[in-house]
Structure 1
Amino acid sequence: MPTPLSVIVTGHAPHSRLRACLDSVTAQTPPDLDIVVTVADDDGAARALAAVHEVRDPRVTVVPVAPDAPAATARAAAAHAATGAHLQFLHPATDRLPAGAAAALTARLGALRTAPDVLLFDHHHAHWWDEAVPSGTTDLLAAVPADTTLVGHPGLLGIAPLLGNRLISARLLAGHPELIGTEGHDELYLSYAVLLLARRITACGTIGLIRHKDRPAQRRAAGPEQHFAAFGQYERLHQLALAADAPTALRARLYDRMVGDYLTTLARRDELPPALLTEYFRRAARHTARFRPEGHHRPGGLDGVRHALLGQGAHLGYRLLRIANDKRRALQSGAATRAGQVAAARTRHHYRRSLRRGIDQDLAVFSAYWGRGVHCNPAAIAAELAELAPDIRQVWIVEPDRVPLLPPGTDHVLPGTRRYWDVLARAKYLVNNVNFPNAVVKRPGTVHLQTHHGTPLKRMGVDQREHPAAAQGLNFETLLERVDRWDYSLSANSHSTEMWQRAYPSGYRTLDYGYPRNDIHYRATAADVRAARAKLGIRPGQRALLYAPTHRDHESRWTPRLDLPRLADDLGEDTVLLVRGHYFHERLPGPRHDRVLDVTGYDPVEELALAADALITDYSSIMFDYANLDRPIVLHTDDWETYTATRGVYFDITAEPPGPVTRTQDDLTGILLDGTWCDEAAAKQRHDFRLRFCEYDDGRAAERVVRRVFLGEGEESLPPVLPLERRTPAPTPEEAARR
């Protein structure tokens, strides 16, 4: 006897989406649920993730497919491996199952006297701000008779054509193998085709799918092919309807759905370039005229005018109608925004003029930490760029108070000045580890590189929406508008890749190259280590502990969580504490001590890491960078519960630490005195931590970035990432003293 239900997961997706989809499926409770997952042979990370689920859950079967296999081929391979009487197809980039969905749908099937060819059910939309937006078709599903056909109930075409919101009988697919075995068919065609071919359709109100809604920037990044694919699918659907001798009323419903989809795409005119928009209109007009059933009546009002213009191929008339509507909406909103627009016009008048000038192909603008100077990943990229492409001029955005700290000869601009707006308007390359201001326009042909400035333990981006203490009034829509300008997002490890895709959903491309600022941890010499310690006044043989706590969003000012003078006294004369506050803070508060050095304002922080024998931190991302040095790390997490509640975290760092974890100062002092901080157990924890979080950092990250982003080299020509066991970190202070 076949199992009642097979859930098939097939298609390429970002790993964060794939993980969420697989987790949602394997969390379903029916023990006889059949789960089939297809993965491309060349996607190592996806194969590993699927393999983990296959090992953990005996219900999972992984089906490998060729790297370039079309969606239909992968879908057919999965269907062949499935054992269920009914199949649910999920695409991991867009779909998840809500809790209890499989059990509820299986129970619904079991309650039916005769198994349907298709069981339709409800779904929710998932936006970045809400994961349970109703589908809008609940009432339509409720009105469907218990046992019907598409001819008997043409209104079923009004249900969103998603593969995931219908269970399709294996019997129906076996009788029509061309449905999922013919190349070029996509979700739209298959979703409607099974309804056209089904002899028995049942509907229910069960929420059996969560469909992720892409943002406009993500749809643009997917390319125009997704829009143009609809023409072939609708053409085949009309052919199928004619072959099935569908009545006029049903063909009219299909026609209305088609024209509605075409007009929706034309309304999203920012998703297609002007040349392709014209071609899209031409093809849509041809279908609108060709497939119009005899006696069909267009809708009334403005929608009817759009239908008529499209059917007549009147592109000019359609554009004039759109312009008129745009002007009407602008007049309605103009009064409320006129004052703000006048002020903004004064500020950006020069910028707008600069935007009309040509792009300077040899100009790169860099910024780090909101204009704090030459720091972090942008600084490392700029240094490598000067070596590999010296003809590209570099300009740094720097706040006035940071100018005296710039390296000699650094070309820079001050925010808000005329030259500032000039370089932002004309630069080919814009590189930042945060975001450029809202007013910056992403010009076609320019390249925006987001480098980030750490591996995310704490919640970032839109994931902060449930933590108001962290978000502090952040406008998430405006944030995402800034994110939409990114062409590239840099990542140091698979965890970061997943979290950035989740926290900043948009259409950028991820560069899994490592963090350039960490290159120094593999390139520094013994002389560099000795020099770093000498600048700080650390004596040979003295143990230097770098204490670098993170910022607490729920605290108004920095209050050290350790009694630092007492800690220095307890550790003895041979230990010096280097105390590095978060860059939000200027200096260390509290009493002074000879062996407690305030290095909050010391730059670059990478020199502090080279000078330190070990790191003490709490939740700061510095731990992920420092781990590249393979030196001891101790976590002091006295307020873990408070921090997680107010800031939110992606995982429990105390359960997967890079070294010993303490909760009190006495515990911390104890492990620093008894050797626990650097014993074999600590080394094992650090090794496992490095495997996960130092994945792409090998000393050549900046080179990969420059060659790919600035020189346009292909992925195949970039230096491959060295495995961890083949990397040699910079010498420890003890090793450096012997050389």
Structure 2
Amino acid sequence: MPRFSVIVPAYQVQAYLHECLDSVLSQSCSDLEVIAVDDGSPDACGEILDEFAARDARVRAVRLPEHTGRARTAGLERATGDYLLFLDGADTLAPHALRTIADRLKETDEPDVLVHAHARLDRSGEPLQATGPSVLGERGPAPFALTDRPELLGTPAWSGAYRREFTEALTETLTAPAPADLPCVWSYATLLSAGSLATLDQVCVHRRRPRPADTPGRTNIFDQYDRVFAFLEERPELSPWRPALYRRMLTHLTAESARLPRRAHADFLRRAHACCRRHRARGIRVAPRHLLLRFGAHRTLRTLRRITHGTHRTAKLTARLTRALRTGALRLHYGIQRRLPLRAHRAVFTAEAGYGCEPGALEAAFRSLTPHFRTAWIARPEQQYTVPPGPRRLTPDTAAYWSALARSTYIVTNTDLDPRLIKRSDQVVVQTGQGTPLGHLGLDLLEHPAAAHGTDFGRLLRAVDQWDYVVSANRHSTLTFERVFPGSYRTLEYGRPRNDIFQQAASADVARLRESLGVPGDAVALLYAPAHRDYRRAQHARLDLERILRRLGPRFVVLTRTPAHGLGDRLPDRLIDVSAHPNIQSLCLASDALVTDYAPLMFDYAGLDRPIVLHMDDWAAYDAARGTYFDLRAFPPGAIARGEDELIDIFASGHWCGSRSTQLRAAFRERFCPYDDGHAAERVVRHVVLGQTGETAGWPVVVPPRDRHPVPAAVSLTRPPLATVARPSAARAATATATDDSR
């Protein structure tokens, strides 16, 4: 008997069905069955289901001879799992959703219904908003009764997990058609009858907004509510819920009427009026718009909607006019400021992710080497907290922002400047870039449309024409930048300023950072930072980090830069989510080793001279989607794992910090970190601001990589810590192997 039965009806969803089933079968909790029902679909849904059933024994394909609208009922009759979940063929399960649900069910003593959140997607698959009752996040006893949290009434069927034994006892008392295919009936009947409920404040289902042709007819909504109230009448103990149910019906019908075309309004409202008369609950107060619906005053209701729509249009026009006036005033202000003299000792900085990276290191160097300079930092409101005391804080598209861009002599950035900026002839623009490139950049992306999605190459070249200097970390970066960003700028091959901290920090700084992150003093901290996948819409961890920690034992901790989807606030022990941490260099200092795949961070981390392990399970896909400048497999910075088990073995055996890995890292550091000796920012400021070069007195001489002494890791790796790799017993070996393979 599986833990979960996921019922998937399929009707005219062939374009989405692969993604739907893949999202279920790739769950980290593999104790499931999928009952996929072809509801007489005229497209290829049936063939797709047959293919999945032939490929995976957990999939049971059911073919109905014609479209009857009873696909969920057919799946319900064949379900054998402990808990039922309903997923439409265009929907997807969030990564690790089933594991999260299973953990919550165990915590709450196996309730009849577990209510979770869902997120609606637009037609392209982009999330619109997370949806769910506000009480999902409330803390309190669990499980509980519906009377404790009545706001849960009306939760849709796809936002719950239902104990099968409970639903079987319930559906036996209902006549055909079974409630599984009538969402209102199923939702209200299960919630009102449940003896125990629990909630999970986590998005587990992604609901795709249907195309207009896919939107089901609304004519049976009145039949559904007739059945809901009949269900209530058969159970006198539920009669106190009648007023609440009646109000929810009014809200639902009002919302449905607003979505109908005008020609269907009159008929719908007449039927709504009749439905309200049949089920009216006396003595309850309802909203005015609901009264109009109840009395069938569709003309009055339509007039009120027109007035409301007109008010909204007026408000939008007013807001648009206000924005236009503000924009015009700012353009006039900028034009005036551009005619005033430049301020020779002013510099303005900005970076993509707030204060930090190369511009942050250069801003600090400006204030240190040229104390007479005044600096300013441009940051969006949500990034203002990252800016330390010292530079003036500027918010984009304000008068102060445009004044700084118009009159500052130096502009330093690692991202695109405002396209409305008109560079003055005496201004100096320093582009720092965002690291040593492995994947293709700039004009090379013309051959990779997935990675170049949304790139305006004409605008890119216009931006390049504004650059005076480009900061480069090594010869590979220099040659690449000058080819893919063709321009008249000068390349400063001086190293990466943001990596200076690796040579300047002390052991006390490392200990302080680890303590702030919650890393135990004697633990080995692995920083997991995978690269962005251009060919995947959802960016999530490609490793089962919880399983890895279980296998490696208590000495290891993982700092993950990918959000731990599906784990919510109950992160496993020794798994620390640092995806929102504003400073990646601090995370590097706090860690003892890096686990990545193709992220440019590996080039920085090599300068820290700590172990790097690559998890490369999709090199061909990454290379095809974005393109790469060299084969990382032939010149890696450390050990390479091509799968999760191989990665565990690398750490368990000590190969991750062995002599071979040390040799690979040394060669990698010589090639890509020749100037990262702690003085890169100083060289850039001396050249750009003070006009000095390598022949000038006081110019910092480059220290070769072999003679550098970066701050050591908190845990000594002269003797690698032992990893405790859990071995399954002989009786469980076959089952454990099958489970790991399915993951």
Aligned letter for 1:676?
A: H
Residue 408 of structure 1 and its aligned partner are, at CA, apart by 3.6
Residue 735 of structure 1 and its aligned partner are, at CA, apart by 5.0
| Among candidates 566, 569, 583, match of residue 590 of structure 1 | 566
- Alignment match, 2:674: 695
| Among candidates 346, 352, 358, match of residue 341 of structure 2 | 358
Question: Structure 2 CA distance, aligned partners of 1:345 and 1:737?
Answer: 64
Question: Structure 2 CA distance, aligned partners of 1:531 and 1:442?
Answer: 43
Matched, 1:463 2:439: no
Residue 379 of structure 1 and its aligned partner are, at CA, apart by 0.8
Matched, 1:485 2:485: no
C-alpha contact 2:657 2:717 (8 A) present in aligned 1: no
Matched, 1:527 2:508: yes
Question: Structure 1 CA distance, aligned partners of 2:587 and 2:512?
Answer: 11
| Among candidates 526, 530, 537, match of residue 549 of structure 1 | 530
Question: Structure 2 CA distance, aligned partners of 1:404 and 1:615?
Answer: 27
Q: Report Cα offsets for 1:123-149 as digits up to 9, x if no partner.
A: xxxxxxxxxxxxxxxxxxxxxxxxxxx
- Alignment match, 2:478: 497
Residue 409 of structure 1 and its aligned partner are, at CA, apart by 5.0
Question: Structure 2 CA distance, aligned partners of 1:351 and 1:655?
Answer: 52
Gaps of 5+ in 2: 1-323, 720-743
Question: Structure 1 CA distance, aligned partners of 2:392 and 2:412?
Answer: 15
- Alignment match, 2:590: 611
After superposition, the Cα gap between the structure-2 partners of 1:344 and 1:401, relative to the gap in structure 1 and judged at 3 Å, is closer
| Among candidates 603, 615, 625, match of residue 636 of structure 1 | 615
Question: Structure 1 CA distance, aligned partners of 2:383 and 2:529?
Answer: 22
Residue 539 of structure 1 and its aligned partner are, at CA, apart by 1.5
Question: Structure 1 CA distance, aligned partners of 2:346 and 2:460?
Answer: 26
List aligned pairs for 1:216-227, cutoff 5 A.
Answer: none
Residue 674 of structure 1 and its aligned partner are, at CA, apart by 0.6
Q: What's the secondary structure of 2:508's corresponding residue? A: helix
After superposition, the Cα gap between the structure-2 partners of 1:358 and 1:736, relative to the gap in structure 1 and judged at 3 Å, is farther
Q: What's the secondary structure of 2:695's corresponding residue? A: helix
May I ask how many residue pairs the two structures share in their alignment? Answer: 392
Residue 594 of structure 1 and its aligned partner are, at CA, apart by 1.6
List aligned pairs for 1:385-404, cutoff 5 A.
Answer: 385-404=366-385
| Among candidates 439, 443, 452, match of residue 433 of structure 2 | 452
Q: What's the secondary structure of 1:469's corresponding residue? A: coil
Question: Structure 2 CA distance, aligned partners of 1:553 and 1:660?
Answer: 25
Matched, 1:384 2:365: yes
| Among candidates 521, 531, 534, match of residue 540 of structure 1 | 521
Gaps of 5+ in 1: 1-340, 582-586
- Alignment match, 2:646: 667
User: Cα RMSD over matched residues?
Assistant: 2.1
Q: Report Cα offsets for 1:235-260 as digits up to 9, x if no partner.
A: xxxxxxxxxxxxxxxxxxxxxxxxxx
Matched, 1:573 2:554: yes
Question: Structure 1 CA distance, aligned partners of 2:406 and 2:494?
Answer: 28
Once the two structures are aligned, what percentage of the paired residues are identical?
A: 46
Question: Structure 2 CA distance, aligned partners of 1:484 and 1:570?
Answer: 53
Question: Structure 2 CA distance, aligned partners of 1:588 and 1:377?
Answer: 28
- Alignment match, 1:264: none
- Alignment match, 1:178: none
After superposition, the Cα gap between the structure-2 partners of 1:562 and 1:538, relative to the gap in structure 1 and judged at 3 Å, is same
Q: Report Cα offsets for 1:150-181 as digits up to 9, x if no partner.
A: xxxxxxxxxxxxxxxxxxxxxxxxxxxxxxxx
C-alpha contact 1:454 1:621 (8 A) present in aligned 2: yes
C-alpha contact 2:524 2:715 (8 A) present in aligned 1: no
Question: Structure 1 CA distance, aligned partners of 2:433 and 2:465?
Answer: 15
C-alpha contact 1:530 1:736 (8 A) present in aligned 2: no
- Alignment match, 1:714: 693
List aligned pairs for 1:421-460, cutoff 5 A.
Answer: 421-460=402-441
Residue 508 of structure 1 and its aligned partner are, at CA, apart by 0.3
Residue 714 of structure 1 and its aligned partner are, at CA, apart by 2.9
Q: Report Cα offsets for 1:25-71 as digits up to 9, x if no partner.
A: xxxxxxxxxxxxxxxxxxxxxxxxxxxxxxxxxxxxxxxxxxxxxxx
List aligned pairs for 1:45-64, cutoff 5 A.
Answer: none
Residue 723 of structure 1 and its aligned partner are, at CA, apart by 1.4
- Alignment match, 1:657: 636
Question: Structure 2 CA distance, aligned partners of 1:694 and 1:436?
Answer: 28
Residue 444 of structure 1 and its aligned partner are, at CA, apart by 1.1
Question: Structure 1 CA distance, aligned partners of 2:663 and 2:385?
Answer: 44
C-alpha contact 1:526 1:735 (8 A) present in aligned 2: no
C-alpha contact 1:637 1:661 (8 A) present in aligned 2: yes
Residue 590 of structure 1 and its aligned partner are, at CA, apart by 2.6
- Alignment match, 2:579: 600
Question: Structure 2 CA distance, aligned partners of 1:395 and 1:445?
Answer: 19
C-alpha contact 1:354 1:422 (8 A) present in aligned 2: yes
Runs of 4+, deviation exceeding 3 Å: 341-347, 735-738
Q: What's the secondary structure of 2:522's corresponding residue? A: coil
Aligned letter for 2:711?
A: A
Question: Structure 1 CA distance, aligned partners of 2:488 and 2:386?
Answer: 36
Question: Structure 1 CA distance, aligned partners of 2:428 and 2:541?
Answer: 41
Give the TM-score normalised by the residue count of structure 1.
0.51
- Alignment match, 1:676: 655
Question: Structure 1 CA distance, aligned partners of 2:461 and 2:420?
Answer: 13
Question: Structure 2 CA distance, aligned partners of 1:631 and 1:736?
Answer: 9
Aligned letter for 2:331?
A: R
After superposition, the Cα gap between the structure-2 partners of 1:508 and 1:342, relative to the gap in structure 1 and judged at 3 Å, is farther
After superposition, the Cα gap between the structure-2 partners of 1:409 and 1:344, relative to the gap in structure 1 and judged at 3 Å, is closer
Question: Structure 2 CA distance, aligned partners of 1:537 and 1:342?
Answer: 50
Residue 346 of structure 1 and its aligned partner are, at CA, apart by 5.8
C-alpha contact 2:354 2:582 (8 A) present in aligned 1: no
- Alignment match, 1:209: none
Q: Report Cα offsets for 1:506-528 as digits up to 9, x if no partner.
A: 00000011011000111111111
C-alpha contact 2:374 2:391 (8 A) present in aligned 1: no
Residue 720 of structure 1 and its aligned partner are, at CA, apart by 2.3
Give the TM-score normalised by the residue count of structure 2.
0.51
C-alpha contact 1:492 1:513 (8 A) present in aligned 2: yes
Q: Report Cα offsets for 1:107-126 as digits up to 9, x if no partner.
A: xxxxxxxxxxxxxxxxxxxx
Q: What's the secondary structure of 1:714's corresponding residue? A: coil
After superposition, the Cα gap between the structure-2 partners of 1:616 and 1:716, relative to the gap in structure 1 and judged at 3 Å, is same
C-alpha contact 1:546 1:616 (8 A) present in aligned 2: yes
Question: Structure 2 CA distance, aligned partners of 1:409 and 1:682?
Answer: 42
Residue 722 of structure 1 and its aligned partner are, at CA, apart by 1.5
Q: Report Cα offsets for 1:551-610 as digits up to 9, x if no partner.
A: 1112222121001111111111110000013xxxxx432322121100011132111111
| Among candidates 607, 615, 621, match of residue 600 of structure 2 | 621
C-alpha contact 1:494 1:695 (8 A) present in aligned 2: no
Q: What's the secondary structure of 1:690's corresponding residue? A: helix
C-alpha contact 2:348 2:377 (8 A) present in aligned 1: yes
Q: What's the secondary structure of 1:733's corresponding residue? A: coil
